[in-house]
Structures are given as C-alpha cells and as structure tokens.
Amino acid sequence: MKNIIIASTSTVHGQSYLEYILPTLKEFYKGIEEIVFVPYARPGGITHDEYTEIASKGFATIGIKVKGLHTFENPIDAIENAKGIFTGGGNTFVLVNALYENNIIEALQNAVNGGTPYLGTSAGSNICGQTINNTNDMPIVYPPSFKTLGFINFNVNPHYLDPIPDSTHMGETRETRIKEFHTYNSLPVLGLREGSWLEVKGEEIILRGEHSARLFLQGEEPKELNTNTLVSL
C-alpha cells in the first residue's frame, strides 16, 4: 500500500528546515532509523553532499539518520532496500534528468507502490504526479521525458501563490499559467499552498496542513478544497 507525503515545501517562513512538518514525519517514519535521501534537485546549485547535510540536520531532531543516494555504488539497490525515502526540492528538471540518468524511475515506482514510505517536498512532490509540466522551475537541463512517477492521477503545483491585490507585478499569475496548461492538457492540477501537504495511503488522498488547496480542472472555474478533506479525482 502506498504511504506518501507530498509536501508543497520543505521550509515555511520563519521556521527551520522541515520544522512545520516534523511531528508528522516522526510518526510517518516511525520505527525507521535511516532513510535514503535523493539530493538530485540541488537547490541553488549546491552539491549533493551539501544538500544531504541540510536534510541530515533536519531529520536529526527526530532521531533519524539520512544517507544520500549519491553515496551508494548502486542507486537502484539503494532504493530497493531503503526503509524510507525522501526527495528534496530544487530544480525539477535537474531532478528528473538525474533520475533518468541513473535509471531509478522504475525502482522508485516499485518501492513506493510496494509500501516504502516516501516524502517529497517541492520538486520531490512534482515528480509524484503524472508529469512535471506544472513545475515553477526553469528548464535549465532537458530530461529525456517530462513523465514522472505517477503516484497520483493528477499534477501538483507546489508553492502555489494567490494573486496579490493591488500588486504592480504585470507578469502571469500561477492561476494564469495553469489555465494555459489546460488549453493543451486535460490533466487536473492541484495548487498546494506553503505549509500544506497531501497524505496518500493506498488510493486515499487527504489534504493536510493549515491551508486549503486550489483545484484546477480543464474548462471549469478553480475550486477550493478545504484542509483535512478527501481529494477525489
């Protein structure tokens, strides 16, 4: 049975890394001493070692060790034998390109569909959907495919931002970009606001956190989904 947390972000304003969700993660990874961290997204271009150190410090507060996937001689074996997995945020295109380069897409799908607990934040959440077409990131590399893990039957737009009243910014809003996506695609998109996450247990998906989420369906007006409610698409 799938056991997944799809979080909009790793860090909310004014808090340390993963602080807002650590009580949930302590229960989520209960009984697990070490998890495998996928550092491929490299936020800001930091190294895999630097990123793993950040994740390690966050999880140390709940007594869990973190080992970077890049340190294993065989990444496929590492995923297959992991007790828990965490994929951090950064650039989604860089992340997906590395997943394909290391041939671990199928290994991740098999492990997580088989019940290995999986946490994704930001880019690590983007890859839980059907494609990465709704990422906010710049395409600084060109992965072999935009198709990803497909743990849920819709796409996620992490860090979803609502339009700011009286803003002088003339660029497109997130809502505008998602509506552009729907002129060519029928796949539903869920805008996850900062500090919110999806709890996936088997085929059941529940919105958690302090905020509602914004659901976009092709040809329809966006809808607000309240927290602690079932996401059924």
User: Any catalytic annotation for residue 49?
Assistant: no
Quickly list DSSP for the chain. --EEEEES-S--TTS-TTGGGHHHHHHHTTT--EEEEE-TT-GGG--HHHHHHHHHHHHHTTT-EEEEGGGSS-HHHHHHH-S-EEE--S-HHHHHHHHHHTT-HHHHHHHHHTT--EEEETHHHHTTSSBSTT--S---S--S-SB---SSSSEEETT--PPPTT----SPPHHHHHHHHTTT----EEEPPTTEEEEEETTEEEEEESS-EEEE-TTS--EEE-TTSB---
Residues forming a β-bridge with 37: 68, 86
For Cα atoms 160, 163, 165, give the angle at the middle one, nearest 5 degrees: 150
User: Any catalytic annotation for residue 137?
Assistant: yes
- Among the listed residues 8, 48, 70, 122, the single catalytic one is 122
Active-site residue set: 122, 137, 159
